[in-house]
Amino acid sequence: PGGSRIAFLPGPVLLLGAPGVGKGTQAKAIMAAWGIPQISTGDILREIRNRDLQPSVIADRLLNEGKLHEDDLSRMAAGKLVSDALVNDMVAARLEEPDTVRGYILDGFPRTLVQADWLDGYLASSRDGFPVVAVSLRVNERQLLLRITGRRSCPICKRIYNVHLKPPVADTVCDFDQTVLEQRADDTEAVFAERMRAYAEQTAPVLEHYRALGRFAEVDGDATVEAVTESILAAVEHLRE
């Protein structure tokens, strides 16, 4: 993928997949191929929370429109969940910025059917009426478990290893500086099981929603990073025909 694809108008693209399938890696590759932004609800929330350090167009707009209140800001600062309605308003404000005109990748939204229904309605009434297309990365659950629980990183050089799939020469230390490798606190089987349960309950119905609408494709996430990227690009181009 590269410059030859830059003339294509991808419109709104939703990447779906269970924890650990590689959505973040693929989003970056798609952004580069099509020259479109990634719209992340996590990034929007961080931008609003940090508005005292750096101006936030989205926060100013929502405050002026009476859609964001001091108690909402307090909840965000405390790391608490905000309402679907407020998340929808945040996304709407971000989608109205000029860099989204050709398309964008949705990251972390919609997470629920309620959010998906709102998004469909919002896009149907927007400037171009371009509906979202959804692409799901499919990876065997056992493979996902190995990817996540086997993940280790070097605290010095930041290299990433996997004790099951891409192990260091010695079990516990970095090949390059012999520093003891670290495991993230949430890269455990128990946390993985909980994240998979939440995904099945909340996000899997979103997948079925777009499948039923005929705006859905599934690609093999077990292939090489480059092959997965190519499959996603081809799937979106096909769905937009």
**Dist. CA 134–CA 206, nearest whole Å:** 9
Concerning whether 158 is annotated as a catalytic residue, the answer is no
| 147 classed as catalytic | no
> What is the Cα–Cα distance from 120 to 122, expressed in whole angstroms?
6
Catalytic option among 5, 51, 111, 159: 111
Maximum pairwise Cα distance, the chain: 58
Structure tokens at 187: 């890269």
Catalytic residue among 28, 46, 166, 184: 184
Does the active-site annotation cover 111?
yes
Q: Which of 102, 195, 211, 240 is catalytic?
A: 195
The catalytic residue among 94, 151, 152, 215 is 151
Beta partners for 105?
13, 38
Place of tokens 């590759």: 29
58 and 92 Cβ atoms separated by less than 8 Å: no
150 CB burial (10 A radius; 0-12, 13-18, 19+): middle
3 state DSSP class of 178: coil
Answer yes or no: 151 catalytic: yes
**Taking a C-beta distance cutoff of 8 angstroms, is the pair 118, 88 a contact?**
yes
Active site residues: 23, 111, 151, 184, 195
